[in-house]
Amino acid sequence: MDLLRSEWIKLRTIRVTYVLTIIAGVFPLLIVVLVAALADNVIDITGSDLVSMVTQSMVLSALLLGVVSTLSITNEYGNGTIRVSFAATPNRRKVLVAKGVVALAFSMAITTIVMLVAFATGSTILNNRDAILSFDSHTNSAMVGLVLLSGMLCLLGYGVGLIIRNSAASVTLLVLWPLLLENLARIVLAVAKVKDPTVWLPYQSALRMVSTPEFSSDESSGLAAGIPLAIVVIVLVAVGIMINERRDA
């Protein structure tokens, strides 16, 4: 517990943590409020539409929280403070696992809070405008999928940071992976006439977790769509921990 408490103090004393967390929280709330308040015909808006609005707008928030996780480890290596942590706890694996656990808990907690606040705010505005909202298991699955996606992006950034150790390079890779590299790979696979290229793209596949049937007609959507990304995350984190147990701090 002392180790976890120590890592939590380190995470919350980094200024960029507050900046990125505020942006990650304000952006989806602003989108949901504006759409719910300004939509012309709210009668056509369903509960599934509201959930999709929340989850899709929070994908960027999940990525920003992944950046927070990345910086939580790369800043320590960049400033040399990781040596103090390893000196106080010679078992490096315990230190690295504690950092990952704290970052993961923070990311998933913030995602859950912002998601529920955005959902409650949107529901209140739409109900006051006489919208009729109904929900089902698919909408619940999308909301759970968002929290899981946030956790995986958090650990993805953490794993990349463990391996690269450089803040700029790690954040660049974390951002370019979903926004550019996988999209380019998708185009190449499509040109090569590969059937359902998304299956081969971990991040693109994981995005299906946050989709409702009305937002995406893809039959393979659902929580199982996040398995490829989960495998990549587990491998990267495991490799990162093994490397840092043997490499000089």
Tokens of 40: 């012309």
**In the prediction, which pLDDT does 130 show?**
76
Q: pLDDT value at position 20? A: 95
- Ranges of residues in the chain whose predicted pLDDT is under 50: 215, 217, 219
Burial (CB count <10 Å: 0-12, 13-18, 19+), residue 89: middle
* 3-state secondary structure at position 135: coil
Q: Are 171 and 165 in contact (CB under 8 A)?
A: no
pLDDT at site 221: 59
The domain spans of the chain are 2-246
Q: Which pLDDT score, from 0 to 100, does residue 10 have? A: 87
Q: CB atoms < 10 A from the CB of 243, how many? A: 12
For residue 234, the model assigns a pLDDT of: 96
